[in-house]
Amino acid sequence: MNTLTAYRRADGQVGVRNHLFTLPAVVCANQVALDVARRFPRLKYVEHQHGCAQIGADLLQTRRVFSRLALHPNVYASIMVSLGCEAVVAKQLFTETQKLASKPLELVVIQDAGGTLAAEKLVEDWLEARIREADALVREPVSWSDITVGIMADGPADERRGILTAIVEALAQQGARLVVPSRHTDALRAVSDDVPQVAWGDGADARAFAMQEGSNALETATGLTAAGAHLIVHLADQPHGFGTPLTPVVRWSVNEQVYNRFYDDFDGQLVDELDVPRLVEQLSRVVSGQETAAEQMGMDDFALYRIGPTV
């Protein structure tokens, strides 16, 4: 097994990537993130249609997930971009998140800055300083106990239970922390009698826990990222054209015909339990910096799971 290396954070957590992240607090602030990222490809961002006219549980969920993404251990520093009048109330979100942060965190408000171009200049100035700081960091040896692995699978839960259980057992034996969508809870029972259930995009202190899944695979991957997964194993029975901005997605095919036809979209093929050690070995390389197929293709996708209506 390869020695794991990652970036040690000030609070003791580790990051398997060292991202700089801009988070639009509202759909109206997307353009700032998009424009700056075009000029600075190093910058990670999410583009979304949320943050304005949301109410009730959806609004609370958006605030919670945005905060958790800004604090993700794979992120060295985050900057929130606000229009200034959104329902998310970005200044309050920033203040609450800053209380939990042990990393550089900043807020730019477009209306306070004097417009879109002025806000972009502020983000660029912040980014140039953070790039110098991030580049000065070096990877250090870490253990699997520092790493949270998200595991998700296409297809009926019963069909995947055997192979998922084998992966869970192999990673638990290494000491990894595990999170799966709730329909795969039974796989975690092989390593833990008590499996806490959390809301979509929420985390838990347990070494193994289950998260409410989204309405599609991308929403689930986004939720696993917000739940704290350093990387995600995706067992796919069809080609998927998505990754996530902050968490590497390691996609292995469980369908030989699909794998042979869409080889470039996958990181490997999993036939049965005998392939699990090979998967775990690849995960150790991804933790230590090897890019996944989705990362190499620049697949940075994002989707919020919606609870109720937006008005």
Q: Residues 249-289: pLDDT tens digits?
A: 999 999 999 999 999 999 999 999 999 999 999 999 999 99
Q: Residues 186-208: pLDDT tens digits?
A: 999 999 999 999 999 999 999 99
Q: Which own/partner pairs from 261-264 qualify as long-range (CB within 8 Å, at least 24 positions apart)?
A: 264/293
Q: How far is CA 182 from the centre of its chain?
A: 17
- Residue 1's pLDDT band, with cuts at 50, 70 and 90, is low
92 and 130 in a single domain? The answer is: yes
Q: Is residue 6 part of a domain?
A: no
Q: What gap in Å lies between CA 210 and CA 196, rounded to an integer?
A: 6
Tokens of 266: 């996958």
Q: What gap in Å lies between CA 219 and CA 94, rounded to an integer?
A: 24
Q: Above pLDDT 90, what percent of the chain?
A: 81
Q: Is residue 309 part of a domain?
A: no
173 and 268 in a single domain? The answer is: yes
Q: Residues 60-115: pLDDT tens digits?
A: 888 899 999 999 999 999 999 999 877 667 888 899 999 999 999 999 999 999 99
Distances (CA, A) of 244 to 32, 64, 156, 226, 249: 20, 18, 23, 11, 7
Helix or strand holding residue 24 (H, E) = strand 19-24
Can you name the residues that pair with 235 across neighbouring β-strands?
153, 252
147 and 130 in a single domain? The answer is: no
CATH number at residue 273: 3.40.50
- Quote helix, strand, coil % in the chain, to nearest 5: 40, 20, 40
CA angle 189, 284, 103 (to 5 degrees): 90
